[in-house]
């Protein structure tokens, strides 16, 4: 299934749960296609939760990073394992309830991920800079407050463009960059990324 076929079939009045599950499981599709499948009006919150339980880790992550359904996010924040709760915390659709649960979570990674939530105030993040018992969370909270990328993520955006060199970086910033995307240099990343086909590539951060 390619993007064109997926868009067409998702436009049907009732595409059905099997088709939605197939779209979610298909690799290489436009993220917007997957988001449409995950939050399609023909699938209930309970059905999506059941699909996430039945699927593998990849299926879970695709659903939890795409959905804007608060009942689904609340469910996994209350019932998920630490890794799953971290994914919920990093989803920008989370509300103040999820934020409060994540801020008091015993797992350091969950508290670190919530530092980039649009639901948090500067004062809440600052408190964790100085008071969180975990050095990882304190450092992450400082990044969220003081770095350009941290500020970008706290607006709810989760896509970046990775430029191979300064020339690509400047060209993209000048010619094609916009409010919807951040642009960062590959050299600034702490992890190695595969070589892109055309000087930059768009990545989801979660």
Give per-residue pLDDT as tens, 3-56. Answer: 888 888 888 778 888 888 888 888 888 888 888 899 999 899 999 999 999 989
d(CA 98, CA 91): 10
Residues 65, 204 contacting (CB under 8 angstroms): yes
DSSP annotation string for 32-101: HHHHHHHT-TTS-HHHHHHHHHHS-HHHHHHHHHH---HHHHHHHHHHS-HHHHHHHHH-TT--HHHHHH
Give per-residue pLDDT as tens, 91-100. Answer: 999 999 999 9
CB count within 10 Å of CB 114 equals 32
Residues whose CB is less than 8 angstroms from the CB of residue 200 and which lie 6 or more positions away in sequence, other chains included: 161, 162, 163, 164, 168, 172, 183
pLDDT of residue 114: 97
Rg (CA), the chain: 18
Q: Is 204 helix (H, G, I), strand (E, B) or coil?
A: strand
In this prediction, residues 140-158 reach a mean pLDDT of 91
Give per-residue pLDDT as tens, 157-201. Answer: 877 655 666 665 555 544 444 433 455 555 555 444 334 433 333
Q: Tell me which residue has tokens 């809440």.
A: 124
CA angle 155, 73, 48 (to 5 degrees): 125
The DSSP bridge pattern shows strands 200-204 and 182-185 to be unpaired
d(CA 46, CA 132): 35
In the numeric block, which tokens belong to residue 104?
A: 């008091």
pLDDT of residue 178: 42
Residues 94, 88 contacting (CB under 8 angstroms): yes
Mapped to the 3 state alphabet, what secondary structure does 176-194 carry?
Answer: CCCCCCEEEEHHHCCCCCC
């Amino acid at each position: 299934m390619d993007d064109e076929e997926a868009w067409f079939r998702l436009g049907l009045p009732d595409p059905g749960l099997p088709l939605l599950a197939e779209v979610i499981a298909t690799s290489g599709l436009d993220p917007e296609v997957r988001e449409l499948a995950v939050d399609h009006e023909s699938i209930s919150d309970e059905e999506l939760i059941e699909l996430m339980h039945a699927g593998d880790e990849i299926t879970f992550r695709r659903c939890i990073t795409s959905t804007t359904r608060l009942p689904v996010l609340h469910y996994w924040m209350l019932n998920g394992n630490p890794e799953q709760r971290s994914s919920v915390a990093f989803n920008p659709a989370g509300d103040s309830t999820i934020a409060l649960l994540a801020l008091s979570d015993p797992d350091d990674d969950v508290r670190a991920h919530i530092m980039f939530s649009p639901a948090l105030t500067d004062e809440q993040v600052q408190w964790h800079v100085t008071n969180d018992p975990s050095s990882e969370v304190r450092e992450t909270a400082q990044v969220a407050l003081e770095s350009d990328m941290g500020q970008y993520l706290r607006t709810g955006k989760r896509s970046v463009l990775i430029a191979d060199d300064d020339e690509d970086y400047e060209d993209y910033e000048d010619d094609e960059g916009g409010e919807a995307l951040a642009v960062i240099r590959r050299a600034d990343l702490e992890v190695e990324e595969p070589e892109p086909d055309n000087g930059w590539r768009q990545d989801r951060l979660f």
